C-alpha cells in the first residue's frame, strides 16, 4: 500500500499525485459546489489507488469548482490540476459556466446531523443546498448529485427532507434519493450518507449502484501496515494527544470491523487505535475515508481532521460517478 523509502517516509512525487489531468477524450464536464478538500471530486474523476485496488478514470473532468474554506482550497490545489474558486458561493454563483453535463455537491450538514443543532434546512448552513438548486437552474445539466448525512431521513428532519425534494423536483428533474452504507462499497467505515440524484426529463433514470463487496474492509486490513511507523508530518501521520473525556469520539476501533464514522468537528477527540495506545493519525483517518496514500493534506492536524471528516469518501463517490456515467451513456 504505502511506498516507503529507507527513512520510512511516504514518497509523494509530483507526477504521482492526483493532479494528473484526466483525458478530455469523451469526457463529461462537472460543476462542483461545496468541494471541500476534494473527496467527491476525486471519486468522480477517478484514476487513483486504494488498498491495492485501482479505481480507473471515469471520463469526468471538473470544469468549475468552489469552496469557501481557504484551508480546504489549499489541500484541493495540492491534489488537482484544475483550479478552484475560493470564497462564498453566493459571491461566485454568477461565474458558473454556461452549461455542464453534471452538477455535484455535498451541501453542509451541520444543521441536520444528529451531532449538530438539528435546525434542519432552516439553519444557516444546511440551507445552502439552495445554491445547488440555483446552479442546476442556471446550467441545466443532464444530471445533478447532492450529498448529505443519513440523519436527514430521521423523523425530526421530515420537514427538511420534504422541502429539499420539493425544491429539487421544481427544477423539472426526476429526483430520487438513496441511503448509502459506505462499508458496502469498499470504504472501511460505517458511514451513512443520503445521495440525491436528479436526471433531466430527457435522460434515462438513475440506477443505484449495487454494493461492491460482500464482506466489509476491516480497520486492521486498512491500517495494519501503518502500525510500526513513527509520527511523520510529511505524510500526515500525526495524531491528537487529547486524553479520553466525556465527549464524543472516545471509542476504540475494533480490529475486525470497519472504522467508525469520521467526524469533522471532533476537536481532537477522534477515535482510538484498535491496538495502539493513541488516537488514530490523520493518515489513518484518511485511509478510513478511502483517500489514496498520495493524497496530500496541506494543513495542520485540526484542520486536516475537519477536511477528512467533511469529505465524501472517494471510493463511494467513484461508484456513484460510474452509475451517473451509465445514465449519460444510455442517453446516446
Return d(Cα 109, Cα 117) in angstroms, integer. Answer: 10
Q: What share of the chain is helix, strand, coil (3-state, %, to 5)?
A: 35, 20, 45
The catalytically annotated residue of 18, 73, 109, 299 is: 109
Strand partners, 106: 147
Return d(Cα 233, Cα 198) in angstroms, integer. Answer: 41
Return d(Cα 40, Cα 282) in angstroms, integer. Answer: 18
Question: 150-155, long-range: CB within 8 Å, 24+ apart, which pairs?
Answer: 150/179, 150/192, 150/193, 150/194, 151/109, 151/112, 151/113, 151/114, 152/109, 152/112, 152/194, 153/179, 153/194, 154/114
DSSP conformational letter for 188: S
User: Whose CA is closest to 246, among 262, 267, 260?
Assistant: 267
Contact 33, 67 (CB under 8 A): no
266 part of the active site: no
State the cell numbers at 90: 453566493
Strand partners, 143: 102, 199
Taking each helix axis from N to C terminus, what angle separates 158-169 and 129-139, rounded to the nearest 10 degrees? 10
DSSP symbols for 245-273? -SSS--PBPPTTSPBPPPPS--TT-PPBP
User: Longest C-alpha distance within the chain, in Å?
Assistant: 58
Catalytic annotation, residues: 109
Amino acid at each position: 500500500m504505502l511506498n516507503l523509502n529507507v527513512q520510512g517516509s511516504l514518497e509523494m512525487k509530483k507526477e504521482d499525485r492526483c493532479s494528473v489531468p484526466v483525458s478530455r477524450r469523451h469526457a463529461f464536464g462537472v460543476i462542483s459546489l461545496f468541494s471541500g478538500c476534494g473527496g467527491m471530486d476525486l471519486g468522480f474523476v477517478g484514476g487513483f489507488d486504494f488498498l491495492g485496488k485501482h479505481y480507473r478514470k471515469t471520463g469526468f473532468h471538473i470544469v468549475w469548482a468552489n469552496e469557501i474554506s481557504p484551508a480546504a482550497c489549499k489541500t484541493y490545489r495540492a491534489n488537482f490540476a484544475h483550479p478552484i474558486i475560493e470564497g462564498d458561493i453566493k459571491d461566485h454563483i454568477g461565474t458558473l459556466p454556461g452549461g455542464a453535463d453534471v452538477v455535484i455537491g455535498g451541501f453542509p450538514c451541520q444543521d441536520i446531523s444528529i451531532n449538530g443543532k438539528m435546525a434542519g434546512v432552516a439553519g444557516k448552513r444546511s440551507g445552502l443546498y439552495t445554491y445547488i438548486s440555483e446552479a442546476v437552474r442556471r446550467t441545466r445539466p443532464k444530471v445533478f448529485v447532492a450529498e448529505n448525512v443519513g440523519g436527514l431521513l430521521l423523523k425530526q428532519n421530515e420537514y427538511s427532507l420534504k422541502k429539499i425534494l420539493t425544491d429539487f423536483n421544481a427544477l423539472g428533474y426526476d429526483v430520487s434519493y438513496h441511503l448509502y452504507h459506505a462499508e458496502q462499497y469498499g470504504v472501511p467505515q460505517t458511514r451513512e450518507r443520503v445521495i440525491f440524484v436528479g436526471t433531466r426529463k430527457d435522460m434515462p433514470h438513475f440506477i443505484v449502484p449495487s454494493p461492491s463487496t460482500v464482506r466489509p474492509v476491516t480497520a486492521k486490513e486498512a491500517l495494519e501496515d501503518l502500525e510500526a511507523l513513527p509520527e511523520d508530518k510529511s505524510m500526515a501521520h500525526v495524531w491528537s494527544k487529547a486524553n479520553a473525556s466525556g465527549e464524543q469520539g472516545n471509542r476504540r476501533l475494533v480490529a475486525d470491523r470497519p472504522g467508525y464514522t469520521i467526524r469533522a468537528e471532533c476537536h481532537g477527540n477522534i477515535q482510538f487505535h484498535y491496538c495502539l495506545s493513541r488516537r488514530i493519525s490523520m493518515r489513518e483517518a484518511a485511509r478510513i475515508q478511502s483517500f489514496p496514500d498520495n493524497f496530500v493534506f496541506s494543513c495542520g492536524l485540526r484542520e486536516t481532521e475537519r477536511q477528512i471528516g467533511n469529505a465524501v469518501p472517494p471510493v463511494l463517490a467513484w461508484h456513484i460517478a460510474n452509475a451517473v456515467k451509465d445514465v449519460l451513456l444510455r442517453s446516446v
